């Protein structure tokens, strides 16, 4: 079977923000494209990216991701001035952007990136509308996760 004909549903992940699930209650998922420069794409292909401190802001009706660090490659960025933490525009449909703006302004949500992956030749960013967790919510999440793990162990040994 040819590789082009096979339907592979897994998307190659570039970077994950594992801390987001611990820090926030994630609500609605949106897939967004990113406006990148050439040196940034080359650095992403080599894995020099960090999205753990990233967040999305709305400015003049456009969405931008801040806090994403893309380290420049020495051989790819000799002729341009690179800013590893620059503000990058997100490419989102107008209807989705209007929903995001309404949720952030009226309901107090935050917009948090959780993953970056390849979709064909395009870099996509998975963002969520999120509410911050309180300290007791974080402890409950840890307790539930530990209980699920212990329950799986007990069921595995019973069978």
Let me know if residue 107 belongs to a domain. Answer: yes
Let me know if residue 59 belongs to a domain. Answer: yes
Let me know if residue 83 belongs to a domain. Answer: yes
Question: Domain containing 83 — which CATH number?
Answer: 2.40.280.10
Distance, CA of 108 to CA of 37 (rounded, Å): 32
Scanning the chain, the segments in alpha helix (DSSP H) are: 19-23, 38-45, 94-107, 135-158
Q: Which residues, other chains included, contact 65 with Cβ-Cβ below 8 Å and sequence gap of 6+?
A: 34, 54, 55, 56, 87, 88, 90, 113, 125
Let me know if residue 70 belongs to a domain. Answer: yes
- Return the pLDDT at 124: 92
Let me know if residue 6 belongs to a domain. Answer: no
Let me know if residue 89 belongs to a domain. Answer: yes
- Return the pLDDT at 39: 86
What SS3 state is found at 83? coil
Let me know if residue 144 belongs to a domain. Answer: no
What SS3 state is found at 68? coil
- Return the pLDDT at 89: 93
DSSP 120: T
In this structure, the strands spanning 55-59 and 62-66 are: antiparallel
Classify residue 18 by burial, with Cβ atoms within 10 Å: 0-12, 13-18, 19+.
exposed
CA dihedral over 36, 37, 38, 41, signed as positive or negative? negative
> For residues 36 and 91, is the Cβ–Cβ distance under 8 A?
no
Task: Count up the domains in the chain and report the number.
Answer: 1
- Return the pLDDT at 1: 44
Let me know if residue 147 belongs to a domain. Answer: no
Predicted TM-score of the model (pTM): 0.74
Structural domain harbouring 59:
13-133
Each residue's pLDDT expressed in tens, for the chain with a length of 159 residues: 455 555 555 678 888 888 888 788 888 899 999 998 888 888 888 888 998 888 899 988 899 999 998 888 877 656 777 888 889 999 999 998 888 888 888 887 888 999 999 998 899 999 998 887 777 777 888 888 888 998 888 888 876
- Return the pLDDT at 101: 87
């Amino acid at each position: 079977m040819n590789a082009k004909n096979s339907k592979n549903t897994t998307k190659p992940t570039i970077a994950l923000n594992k801390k987001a699930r611990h820090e926030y209650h994630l609500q609605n998922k949106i897939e967004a494209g990113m406006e990148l420069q050439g040196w940034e794409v080359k650095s992403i292909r080599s894995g020099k990216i960090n999205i753990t401190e990233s967040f999305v802001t709305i400015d003049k009706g456009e969405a931008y991701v801040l806090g994403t660090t893309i380290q420049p490659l020495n051989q790819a960025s000799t002729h341009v001035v690179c800013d590893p933490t620059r503000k990058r525009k997100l490419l989102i449909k107008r209807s989705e952007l209007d929903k995001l703006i309404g949720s952030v302004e009226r309901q107090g949500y935050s917009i948090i990136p959780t993953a970056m992956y390849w979709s064909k030749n395009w870099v996509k960013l998975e963002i969520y509308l999120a509410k911050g967790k309180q300290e007791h919510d974080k402890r409950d999440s840890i307790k539930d996760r530990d209980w699920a793990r212990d329950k799986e162990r007990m069921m595995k040994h019973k069978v």
